Structure 1
Amino acid sequence: MTTAPATALAPPRAARVATWAYFGLNGFAVGMWVVHIPNVERATGISHSTLGLLLLILGGAAFTGMQVAGPLADRLGQRRLVPAAGVLLGLSLFGPGLAGNWWTLGLALAVFGFSNGSIDVAMNTHAVVVERAYPRPIMAAFHAMWSIGGAFAALIGAAALHAGIHTAVSLSVCGVICIVVSLIASRFLVEADQDEPEQSADTEQVAPPARLVWALGGLAFGLMLAEGVANDWAALQFRDILGTSTSTAAYAYGSFAVAMTVGRFATDRVAALIGPAAIVRYGAALAAIGLTTVILVPWVPVGLVGWALFGLGLSGGVPQLFTAAGNLDPRASGALMAKVVGLGYVGLLAGPALIGALTHWMPLNVAFALPVILCVLTVLAAPVLRPIAAQPKEDAG
């Protein structure tokens, strides 16, 4: 095996910090857009229904960006694609704040969605490369940084709104921050071939079975659908089913979000001890128990515990699935990641809509049986991760 000169390699720790920066930056950018949605809606004079349609454009553009970025990451390398996607994300933030009507906002959201999907796949693919240089899992902490970035956006965005700062100014400043940080962090990124042993010429490379890719994507779909349900319906469940005030209802999502963030910071060390399959299996089981508690017990303190257990259970599963997808075939890591991340993203978008549709025929808490069933199915399907987890160690030998 040949090794590149030490001076040509970014230290793994520096690459890890740089990847943290991109995840945090992405969460911050998305969060800043979310907190400014009401202002953008008023500035463009559109209705709620029109906004809903434009958000579908954003989601479709994000999915397209994921499918484009995956093969590009394999062809151009993550070290080029990640900062390029970060700069594009920063530039795209200027659009929503400057939009003056429905069609300019639709165009701005299409660009924003495409850039967000692109950096999502690119940074996750790079995170897998960085993780290979470490003796233990580190992927979940990257996803925790995304949550931290979103939390900062909520605080800073709320302060900007309270101070009366124009939406165009807030989003533009956020865009400039994205561009500057992306360019600075880019010098610490690494390429896949820098951290992996070379394959001998007579080693036959076998493409992963399509059913395995679809299995990972299906698990990502189910877990992210459950996450989407919590994002959009946790507070409403407290208000409409338990009859709490709006302020109290906010604690339902808060307990979920805090537990998920804490769980992601803790997941990596637990995964190093028990393995990714166990993380997915027992995490999904805990999530099912938590949401079942929410469904069955009409008491606010117990409900808060239930949402916290739901967030804690879901916190570690998706990072394990993304790592597994990136390690199926290092030659096509980006393309495989795009498929699994894309299916997960579809679940994230579909979850709230499916629950909304079910509420036409049943109470909201009964509709929550759907994510519970998906969590149970994940428990049963989690062993699919075992041979994937073992593969990198066998290759390294």
Structure 2
Amino acid sequence: MTTPLPRAARVATWIYFTLNGFAVGLWVVHIPDIERATGITHSALGGLLLVLGGAAFLGMQVAGPLADRVGQRKLLPAAGVLLGAALFFPGLATSWWALGLALLFFGFGNGTIDVAMNSHAVVVERAYPRPIMASFHAMWSIGGAFAALVGAGTLGASVPAAVTLSACGVFTIVVSLLTGRFLIDAEPHEPEQATTSAPTAKPPAKLVWLLGAIAFTMMLAEGVANDWAALHAEDVLGTSTSTAAFAYGAFAVAMTVGRFATDRVAALVGPVAIVRYGAALAAVGLSLVVVVPWLPVTLVGWALFGLGLSGSVPQLFTAAGNLDKRSSGALMARVVGLGYVGLLAGPALIGGLAHWIPLNLAFIVPVVLCVPAVVFAGVLTPRATPVDEPVA
């Protein structure tokens, strides 16, 4: 039975995941207002979003080694404060260069907290006798949904974006500082080290990169659903804009529900089965979207796609964080970073293909990219024996 300390740390980690989803969601719902305020074009916004993505990737690579050096307990509250402070600036921007600087700051803060909170989630999970990682990711989705509600209310009341984002930035800073006291260090829950003088073997480089490659394909598929599910329903199926929103809704709801359910299923069948059969289910779901141009089947397809993807990424992050507990943050930063690149690349890849082939046929690419996860899911099996090939 778990002690109060890891239980409190689990709740605290839930809060950080929710805060991160909330902050990102608030930025997303205010993009149209900020675009008008700065007078930039859609193409200019696309370039600035690449700045945000690049800054987030940089933040991840900085946060990983830093987590190993100073500890997740110190890094995570600092990352939350950084993210909250970064929320102030996008709403204040009045030009493209000011918005670019704001997104550089915001992206770095988002990347930093992403690695910090996932790394701490691995530490908390080690103190439990069962998997709990997927529930943290579900709370990220809950935070995004809460941001949509807050954004809809404030935008409907004509509250300026600067006011909403700044107020929520203060909220994020305060909650991050208050919650930090409940976090835990990795050391008290680590197994006792052997007293021999032999050095502990590092995980092989190819294993780290393979986990990252699977994360890339899974999050690429997720990015496709985020940006193209509603557009597919509208453009290919000819639905109204309001009806098309149900396509993304089916995916998002299934993803959230699946993440809440994944931990219990993973405790029974293990992470390999979650990734292997989840990727297979995702491929089947998106195949239905490709081949059956009928809205009810499309909604079922997107729901199966979301359900299949829901548990994969949390299992990959847990595996990366447990490869080598001395460099857990750095290893996780690689896997999280590659997954994030996939999340950004997916929508752009489909957009490029859609210039040449019908949108539904472009979805064959993420279907095919689910196959490597099915084939190589065995890499998530815990290593029983040490290996000698070092991480590059």
Q: Distance in 2 between matches of 1:361 and 1:101?
A: 34
Corresponding residue number in structure 2 for 1:330: 325
- Deviation track 1:158-197 (CA, whole Å, cap 9, x = no partner) reads 1100001010000001101110110011000011102112
Q: Does 1:156 align with 2:163?
A: no
1:286-345 CA distances to partner (integer Å, 9 max, x unpaired)?
A: 000000001111110111000000000000000000000000000000000000000000
Match of 2:245 among 237, 243, 250: 250
Counterpart of 1:37 in structure 2 is 31
Q: 2:191 aligns with which of 188, 191, 197?
A: 197
Aligned pairs for 1:127-138 (under 5 A) are 127-138=121-132
Distance in 2 between residues matched to 1:178 and 1:29, nearest whole Å: 8
Instruction: Tell me the CA shift for residue 88 of structure 1.
Output: 0.3
Question: Which residue of 342, 345, 355 maps to 1:347?
Answer: 342
Alignment RMSD: 1.2
1:64, CA displacement in angstroms? Answer: 0.1
Which residue pairs with 1:139 in the alignment? 133
CA displacement, residues 212-270 of structure 1 (integer Å, 9 cap, x when unaligned): 00000000000000000000000011011111000000000000000000000000000
Letter in 2 for 1:103: W
Equivalent in 206, 213, 221 of residue 208 of structure 2: 213
Instruction: Tell me what 1:295 maps to.
Output: 290
Contact 1:10 1:189 in 2 (8 A): no
Q: Which residue of 2 aligns with 1:188?
A: 182
Pairing partner for 2:119 from 113, 125, 129: 125
Corresponding residue of 1:173 = 167
For the residue of structure 2 that corresponds to 1:244, the secondary structure is coil
After superposition, give the CA deviation of every residue in 1:59-106 in whole Å (9 maximum; x if it has no partner): 000000000000000000001100000000000000001111111110
SS across alignment from 2:35: helix
Offset of 1:198 from its aligned partner? Answer: 2.6
Question: Is residue 19–residue 123 contact of structure 1 (8 Å, CA) maintained in 2?
Answer: yes
User: Which residue in 2 is equivalent to 1:82?
Assistant: 76
SS of alignment partner, residue 94 of structure 1: coil
Correspondence for 2:389: none
1:91-146 residue CA offsets vs partner (Å, 9 max, x unmatched)? 00000011111111100000000000000000000000000000000000000000
Residue type matched to 2:116 in 1?
A
Give the aligned partner of residue 71 of structure 1. Answer: 65
Out of 213, 229, 234, the residue aligned to residue 234 of structure 1 is 229
Instruction: Report the secondary structure of 2:158's partner residue.
Output: coil
Q: Which residue identity lines up with residue 165 of structure 1 in the other structure?
A: V
Q: Aligned pair count?
A: 383
The runs of at least 4 consecutive aligned structure 1 residues that moved more than 3 Å come to none
Q: 1:365 pairs with 353, 360, 369, which one?
A: 360
Q: Which residue of 1 aligns with 2:264?
A: 269
Query: Is 1:377 matched up with 2:367?
Result: no
**Are 1:97 and 2:91 matched, yes or no?**
yes
Contact kept in structure 2, 1:221 and 1:347, CA below 8 Å? yes
State TM-score, norm by structure 1: 0.95
Using the alignment, how far apart are the partners of 2:105 and 2:360 within structure 1?
Answer: 36
Which residue is 2:51 aligned to? 57
**TM-score normalised over the length of structure 2:** 0.96
Distance 1:150 1:301, change over 3 A: same
Give me the whole-angstrom Cα distance separating, in 2, the residues matched to 1:391 and 1:45.
59
Q: Given residue 256 of structure 1, which amino acid in structure 2 is its aligned partner? A: F
Deviation at 1:10, TM superposition (A): 6.8
Contact 1:10 1:190 in 2 (8 A): no
**CA distance in structure 2 between the partners assigned to 1:228 and 1:289 by the alignment:** 17
User: CA offset at residue 359 of structure 1?
Assistant: 1.1
Is residue 10–residue 188 contact of structure 1 (8 Å, CA) maintained in 2? no
> 2-side partners of 1:173 and 1:195: how far apart?
37
Give the Cα–Cα distance (whole angstroms) in 2 for the partners of residues 105 and 91 of structure 1.
15
Structure 2 unaligned residues grouped into runs of 5+: 387-392
Report the CA distance between 1:387 and its aligned residue.
3.1
- 2:100 is aligned to 106
Q: 1: CA distance between counterparts of 2:351 and 2:48?
A: 18
Matched residue of 2:282: which SS?
A: helix
C-alpha spacing 1:391/1:154, structure 2 compared with 1 (3 Å): farther
Q: Does 1:282 align with 2:256?
A: no
Report the more deviating stretch, 62-71 or 378-387: 378-387
Distance 1:312 1:21 in 2: 23
